[in-house]
Amino acid sequence: MITKKIWKYLIDIGMLKFIPDEKYLKMKFKKVMKKNLNLNNPKTFNEKLQWIKLYDRNPIYTNYVDKYEVKKIIKNTIGDEYIIPTLGVWDKFDDIDFSKLPNQFVLKCTHDSGGLIICKDKSKLNLKKARTRFNLIMKRNYYYRFREWPYKNVKPRIIAEKYIVDESRI
């Protein structure tokens, strides 16, 4: 049996790309839920989510999951006062001029989930470690891990956003 760590590693290096989406989702569902995935008549919430991944492929969803592109949609729909200000956007880590960023900021990738660094003090930011992390994430296509189709064609970029503190949580 493939362990969770090996499974994740095989996905990250692209070894499971060849598996068709339906077969992949059935395998993953069986591994996680310990039962077969019913796509012909999905009844549970999780079965319906898997069905949506396979059959609801509206091209606009790609812009909704792209952390940079969705800002344009939000601005045009409800206004830019609901958007965390963007400080910059880059195609690769080495293009970032950290001298132009404020002391506090957040770096994140536009094409995945969880690929971010919260910088509360720029003088303490380990650039070597950050570069290694982002260079790895920039090579990864989030789509292949969960087969969430909207992520498949998102252009990998890095954005810096204003650091915001939720005063109600202090």
Q: Which of 45-54, 113-122, 135-144 has the highest average model confidence (pLDDT)?
A: 45-54
CA gap 120, 139 in Å, rounded: 26
Give DSSP secondary structure letters for 108-158. EESSSSS-EEEES-GGG--HHHHHHHHHHHHH--THHHH--GGGTTPPP-E
Q: What is the mean pLDDT of residues 2-11?
A: 75
100 or 31, greater pLDDT: 100
Q: What is the mean pLDDT of residues 92-114?
A: 96
Confidence of residue 1 (pLDDT cuts 50, 70, 90): low
pTM value is: 0.85
Q: What is the mean pLDDT of residues 14-38?
A: 91
pLDDT at residue 3, as a whole number: 75
- Per-residue model confidence as pLDDT tens digits over 63-90: 999 999 999 999 999 999 999 999 999 9
- Percent of the residues in the chain that have a pLDDT greater than 90, as a whole number: 76
* Cβ within 8 Å of residue 102, ≥6 positions away: 87, 122, 162, 163
Confidence of residue 170 (pLDDT cuts 50, 70, 90): low
- Left (φ > 0), alpha (ψ -120 to 50) or beta: where does 147 sit? left
- Per-residue model confidence as pLDDT tens digits over 38-48: 999 999 999 99
Q: Where are the domains of the chain?
A: 4-55, 60-169
The structure tokens listed for 72 are 């344009």
The region of weakest confidence among 1-5, 90-94, 163-167 is 1-5
CA gap 52, 32 in Å, rounded: 18
**Exposed, middle or buried by CB within 10 Å (0-12, 13-18, 19+), for 42?**
middle
